[in-house]
Structure 1
């Protein structure tokens, strides 16, 4: 078959082959300046990444100083003051709850490392001459843990899994998420809901074989897949009891909601439940450099040190000097400027204003989140919670409306919220440096975009046909 090759829309393979996103030419604080002259408020910090906003001079200076010292060294041969200093900063931030840090480049890589570390832990504690049977993981439906094959196998996001389902690993299974808006039954107490979910997890352990499960994996606040859904109080205590009963580890994925985003530096601090392994990323380096990592609990760290003495995993850019210098600067600024307190204060203001403006809107089903991680779920019927048809792309179109409106703001949109296929939500996760005036702007711009979208596309006369 012959024919002329078609020229691609762009030399860069974008996320969408037919859509070239607007170009950013400058940035400062919470604002982005586009090539066409528009100034856009970064209401989502990209993907909940730019926690310090843009153009922070202290971070730029720290990166430049590290460039003068060394940019890259092989972590198996050498170490840098930046990587050891960063690891110390992170471990000390847990108040002795975690023992060590492992530093890499992306959230997906962090989840892959967590999977391997959990498997190795059981190899380390298994008696010589015996074989560890623990190779399975239990995660939750409508979760998202990354795009690499191991992380994608662990995640329960239908849309992201669909095209690769035939090559995903079969040693991952899934139970229900803790989503009170859709999971709590009418008349059911929170305590009964937790008990039901704990029984489901226990039943899954028994179904696959309790001695084959290495870990239960969950996001303390479900991010992109569900739209910032926090677990109800007491849920993770019950889940940990099930894990302890069967001898499995507990892994928290805090890539999106950790490092201050939830209103405490680590989301697990609010739960009073310490994981054996914690993944971190996104806000870890504020977007100034690619950096992620895992924090390792004493139980796992001790097993390594008393066993083989090494983690059987390594990557080229592990403990990268520039990335660690940038990440260390970001975390020191957050600590010294007490920005996590600002996250909590501004988050409380934001949710109050969002609910005042949007709670009664006919198509707003739920407003939920913590800290500076808030989401709005849209439904076509508030009583039945019936979602919109997927082909309407409600959340995506609201995102476009907000970006192109008179007060441009970037929001993060998601789909599959209700059942993995249907459902729409937008997420608001601005930088930690946001001011009270900017919170008021965010709420106004977001609410205007939502109201204008529904008034334009779903006027009263057609609502009954949706």
Structure 2
């Protein structure tokens, strides 16, 4: 490419000045960039690279699969890695879910989950059903495709496409105690209020028209690692069961060990009817996701058409499946979910100790190796910072500069979908105490530097 030519690869930004740095290699918890910097990956990308980069066991498994069969059409053939991966995933739910559909990305999994929920009801009424409505939550994120974007709520990502989005989706409040619990309200009262709100939405739509309620048991990007309050998942399960609707848990970002449990719903022992998983599934070694389904839904298909009316070219693709299988086996063999729980507790403790009193920090929250820091202008009122400051983006950009060299996952919209800055820390499950200390040191250094930049503006 000549010096006067624009790059042909389409980034989110199409201007040269905003093109991201080029990674030339990755090993363990570090990226090496084209400019020579060695960046500590404190976020696993978007909570993806759970076993770090360059894992020999996974690489060898993928190479063996390439030498065996790289692709076969999922409508004509099955393949051993897909079958073994499905068995592993279902086994991890201790029998609460019974089938797995292997796909390519989180957005695809959410689309498939919504289609499956609708088909579940259509199968019972000879192909048509009035259960066409989906209830989702404000302050959520489910993916970039049209249906996934429709049930999600990051305003900066969906507003442009509003004319294209589904009209059969409505939203209720998230479970976000730090921002939305009222003064003097107990956790039990707060959960009861959210349960009543969901019930009211069922009644507004007509309970017989609702196919499913979809939510993240632990919200990642949109709100910054918000964990469901005790009793909340059981409360929404009860509402869905009362009205015969399905419950879909989106665990693309928070699942498969990220929270310190194999599945985030296992903390509350409340299983969904349909679950999506991704990110940690393939650990970054292959594009892969899955939809897990309980026996109730499967039995409806068995009594009806006998199949899920869905198919994609790269469904159950052998390379993605073997990458996921090897990743999950490595996690099991090395007891890394337990390590995520232990090191996650230490990470949260250190973030609170070193950032809890920072002038910009409103809340430090999380579970397992999934922690968020929400930034505010005022700690008491929780008023967000002016979006014009671009604080979250500043933090991410500063982390990639010489002298800081840490990858921080920045996001916005934590307060109302538009306003609010937050960042996420989600290191590999292989992380050890010294790694946690180094991550926190670098993040604190970034925060101190950015605070110097914006202090004068905030004082004015």
Shift of 1:160: 1.2
1:427 aligns with 2:424: yes
Shift of 1:9: 2.9
Aligned match of 2:70: 71
Aligned match of 1:57: 56
Residues 414-440 of structure 1 deviation map (CA, whole Å, 9 limit, x = unaligned): 101101111000000111111111100
Aligned match of 2:19: 20
Shift of 1:399: 1.0
3-state SS, counterpart of residue 331 of structure 1: helix
Aligned match of 1:195: 192
Q: Which structure 1 residue ranges, 4+ long, deviate > 6 Å from structure 2? A: none
What is the alpha-carbon root mean square deviation over aligned residues?
1.3
3-state SS, counterpart of residue 375 of structure 1: strand
1:355 aligns with 2:352: yes
Distance 1:33 1:432 in 2: 20
Distance 1:77 1:320 in 2: 12
CA contact (8 A) 1:145 1:253 kept: yes
Distance 1:219 1:448 in 2: 32
- 2:133 alignment partner, one of 132, 136, 143: 136
Distance 1:345 1:8 in 2: 50
When the two structures are superposed, what TM-score results if normalisation uses the length of structure 1? 0.96
- 1:221 alignment partner, one of 195, 218, 223: 218
When the two structures are superposed, what TM-score results if normalisation uses the length of structure 2? 0.97
Distance 2:154 2:35 in 1: 35
After TM superposition, the structure 1 stretch with the greater mean CA deviation from structure 2, 130-139 or 24-33, is 130-139
Shift of 1:407: 3.3
Aligned match of 2:227: 230
CA contact (8 A) 1:142 1:158 kept: no
Aligned match of 1:4: none
Where do residues 41-52 of structure 1 align in structure 2 (5 Å cutoff)?
Answer: 41-52=40-51
CA contact (8 A) 2:369 2:429 kept: yes
Where do residues 53-452 of structure 1 align in structure 2 (5 Å cutoff)?
Answer: 53-126=52-125, 128=126, 131-452=128-449
Distance 2:332 2:150 in 1: 35
Residues 65-118 of structure 1 deviation map (CA, whole Å, 9 limit, x = unaligned): 111211100111111111111111111111111100000100000000000000
Shift of 1:8: 5.9
Aligned match of 1:464: 459
Shift of 1:125: 2.3
3-state SS, counterpart of residue 158 of structure 2: helix
3-state SS, counterpart of residue 326 of structure 2: helix
3-state SS, counterpart of residue 293 of structure 2: strand
CA contact (8 A) 1:405 1:449 kept: no
CA contact (8 A) 1:124 1:308 kept: yes
3-state SS, counterpart of residue 404 of structure 1: coil
Distance 1:8 1:332 in 2: 45
3-state SS, counterpart of residue 98 of structure 1: coil
CA contact (8 A) 2:371 2:425 kept: yes
After TM superposition, the structure 1 stretch with the greater mean CA deviation from structure 2, 16-25 or 178-187, is 16-25
Shift of 1:159: 1.5
Pairs aligned (count) = 456
Shift of 1:405: 4.5
Distance 1:437 1:60 in 2: 26
Distance 1:248 1:108 in 2: 22
Residues 288-331 of structure 1 deviation map (CA, whole Å, 9 limit, x = unaligned): 11000100111111111222110001100011011111110000
